[in-house]
Amino acid sequence: MKSAGRMGIHYLQKLHASNVPKELVEIGQNRVIEASLTLIRERAKLKGELVRALGGTAASTSLLGVPLGHNSSFLQGPAFAPPRIREAMWCGSTNSTTEEGKELNDPRILTDVGDVPVQELRDSGVDDDRLMSIISESVKLVMEEDPLRPLVLGGDHSISYPVVRAVSEKLGGPIDILHLDAHPDIYHAFEGNKYSHASSFARIMEGGYARRLLQVGIRSINKEGREQGKRFGVEQYEMRTFSRDREYLENLKLGEGVKGVYISVDLDCMDPAFAPGVSHIEPGGLSFRDVLNILHNLQADVVGADVVEFNPQRDTVDGMTAMVAAKLVRELTAKISKWPAVIPNL
């Protein structure tokens, strides 16, 4: 996977070695970028028009895939995750109703605008500075089609930075973030890479895009992770104290006084017994129901979310982790979308 991830860089080097004028390379790159953004723009317009025509929806979830894996420090399999998550969502082994009764077949609840063509952009020699901007712009294109709100399918965790940046900028101010993960992902620049999946929340906090950052499920954290957490005022809840913190975390109320709440779920927040298909297996994590309890009970206006770090190359033969990721996407959709649903009395 390392060689595939570097394909775009090698292609650009070949162009330079062939003495292709820099101006021609840039013109070609700009065409690919514009084509990529046009695809997302037109799909978002189509889905937004449909939802608005149906009417009565204050917020509707729209999936956006970002198949990026090259900023992973270990394995790059998360680049293959978005289509596997979609396949699991609609595989027919379960119905399309969320636990609280929202029907995913209704476009007022869920639409899909496709993927940012990450590999095609990198094949054209687009570097990470521009790639992050393209991801941000793609998210903004979705949000322009009110009432669509983005639910992003990763990809490694580096995608959270450009997505959160876009959401905050589009809404005009900082947001609160609920981040479920085994790791704080707050290194200044892990292994010298400012866009590393282990540094995404450092970039978010530096940019002032979040007022509060709550990190839940943490169980692999070193001195720098704690120091960076203190520097940015991060609320870090480690698994070693989860039994003590459970009642608070399962009754969170976030977003008062800011533009909304963003949820980022790294699948390795869960114990590998529940989600083995991740790059960084870290025992001692949350159960799947722990995660759902936190999400279901959260009181917040959720303006966007991502599900990241699913690695299909490490999943079980029967696709267990894909189904876990799909279920999370379904329940996050229910949290974001605001359309009446019949909820039985328990």
Asked if 185 contacts 265 with a C-beta cutoff of 8 angstroms, the reply is: no
C-alpha to C-alpha distance for 338 and 267, rounded to whole angstroms: 25
Q: Which residue has the tokens 């779920």?
A: 265
C-alpha to C-alpha distance for 251 and 249, rounded to whole angstroms: 5
Q: Bridge partners of 152?
A: 64, 306
Q: Find out whether 179 is annotated in a ligand binding site.
A: no
Q: For Cα atoms 291, 304, 331, give the angle at the middle one, nearest 5 degrees.
A: 40
- Using DSSP's 3-state secondary structure scheme, residue 152 falls into strand
C-alpha to C-alpha distance for 299 and 294, rounded to whole angstroms: 10
Pairing of strands 302-308, 148-154: parallel
Q: Find out whether 181 is annotated in a ligand binding site.
A: yes
Tokens representing 71 are: 């900023």
- Which domains does the chain possess? 25-334 (3.40.800.10)
**pLDDT tens by residue, the chain, 346 residues:** 444 444 545 555 565 556 778 888 889 899 999 999 999 999 999 999 999 999 999 999 999 999 999 999 998 899 999 999 999 999 989 899 999 999 999 999 999 999 999 999 999 999 999 999 999 999 999 999 999 999 999 999 999 999 999 999 999 999 999 999 999 999 999 999 999 999 999 999 999 999 999 999 999 999 999 999 999 999 999 999 999 999 999 999 999 999 999 999 999 999 999 999 999 999 999 999 999 999 999 999 999 999 999 999 999 988 999 999 999 999 999 999 998 644 555 5
SS (H, E, C) 67-111: CCCCCCCCCCHHHHHHHHHHHHHCCCCCCCECCCCCECCCCCCEE
The arrangement of strands across the sheet holding 235-238 comes to: 110-115, 60-66, 148-154, 302-308, 261-266, 175-180, 210-218, 235-238
Structural element, H or E, at residue 32: helix 22-54
Largest CA distance in the chain: 70
Q: Find out whether 157 is annotated in a ligand binding site.
A: yes
Q: Find out whether 296 is annotated in a ligand binding site.
A: no
Helices (H) and strands (E) in the chain, counts: 12, 8
What dihedral do alpha carbons 175, 58, 292, 233 form, nearest 10°?
10
Q: For Cα atoms 302, 176, 179, give the angle at the middle one, nearest 5 degrees.
A: 85
Q: What is the DSSP letter of 257?
A: T
Say what the pLDDT of residue 21 is: 84
pTM, full prediction:
0.93
Q: What is the DSSP letter of 201?
A: H
Q: Find out whether 185 is annotated in a ligand binding site.
A: yes
